[in-house]
């Protein structure tokens, strides 16, 4: 059993390769094999968001604070609020992030397949984000 | 993509078969195959706790409110607080729950193997809990 106290692992900032705006990450778990789940807390500043991306085994988001946005390719942007859970199917192209005037923090849970848990794609443009 | 709003799925009460005291559960995800992750929010009243149990592929707990306790068999009881993450290895016999005078809520994340994500054992006696 490993207990990681809340103050024991520093927050990191997500790189601009896969994100737009200021995004912070706090680790929850990277389970060793044969388990394959990965979870982290992700905190988006207002206007910040992921690139478009997919997950080989899907992803679960659980919103814990703020006001957020999520979009599946080809559908309209949806607002997400604390307590909301989102299940994203394997291979489903999507993005998520904060609302333009609100921060948003969620827990992200995904499983790793063949060494990766996400396939990163192009940026979400300001035009796409503002729609 | 499935969005479950915070008010769309009712809270359930855990049965006394595997828990002592009042324990409430809110669903987060039961991912369909080939994914195998299950997650839920579990809220323990003061003094409430799980039975002793193990997980075939381990378990991650992420404390979101209150003051809790966790114990691995053969070790001393540890206090857990909001923001703490606990990784429990596959097969590790343990229990978790609230402190005697405080409620505690955590997110529990585990993977299912051959149709189950936990093996439930005997109750945690008051003597064991108070140590």
A3, B70: Cβ pair inside 8 Å?
Answer: yes
Q: Quote the DSSP letter at residue A45.
A: P
Tell whether the torsion through CA atoms of B63, B69, B72 and B78 is positive or negative: positive
Q: Is residue A47's pLDDT more than 90? A: yes
Retrieve residue B2's tokens: 């499935």
A84 — contact with chain B (CB < 8 Å)?
Answer: yes
B70, A37: Cβ pair inside 8 Å?
Answer: no
Q: Report the alpha-carbon distance of residue B58 to residue A23 in Å, rounded.
A: 29
Residues A95-120 pLDDT 10s:
999 999 999 999 999 999 999 999 99
Nearest C-alpha neighbor of B28 from the set A120, A6, A37 = A37
The secondary structure of B13-75 as a DSSP string is: EPPTTTEES-EEEEEEEEPPTT--EEEEEEEE-TT-EEPSEE-TT-EEEEEEEE-EEEEETTS
pLDDT by position in tens, chain B (length 131): 999 999 999 999 999 999 999 999 999 999 999 999 999 999 999 999 999 999 999 999 999 999 999 999 999 999 999 999 999 999 999 999 999 999 999 999 999 999 999 999 999 999 999 98
Q: Is residue A35's pLDDT more than 90? A: yes
Which residue in B3, B60, B84 is closest to A80 by CB distance?
B3
A40 — contact with chain B (CB < 8 Å)?
Answer: no
- The HSE-up count of residue B40 (CA atoms within 13 Å, CB side) is 18
A8 CB-near residues (< 8 Å, 6+ apart): none
CATH of domain A12-130: 2.60.120.10
The interface predicted TM-score of the complex, written ipTM, equals 0.94
Asked whether A116 and A110 are in contact (CB, 8 A), the reply is no
A15 — contact with chain B (CB < 8 Å)?
Answer: no
B13 — contact with chain A (CB < 8 Å)?
Answer: no
């Amino acid at each position: 059993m490993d207990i990681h106290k809340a103050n024991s692992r520093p927050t990191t900032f997500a790189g601009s390769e896969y994100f737009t705006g200021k995004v912070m990450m706090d680790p929850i778990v990277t389970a060793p094999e044969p388990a394959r789940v990965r979870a982290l807390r992700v905190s988006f500043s207002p206007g910040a968001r992921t690139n478009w991306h997919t997950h080989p085994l899907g992803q679960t988001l659980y919103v814990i604070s703020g006001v957020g946005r999520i979009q599946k390719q080809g559908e309209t942007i949806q607002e997400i609020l604390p307590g909301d859970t989102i299940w994203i199917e394997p291979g489903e192209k999507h993005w998520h992030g904060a609302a333009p005037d609100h921060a948003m923090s969620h827990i992200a849970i995904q499983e790793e397949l063949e060494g990766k848990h996400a396939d990163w794609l192009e940026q979400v443009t300001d035009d796409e984000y503002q729609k």
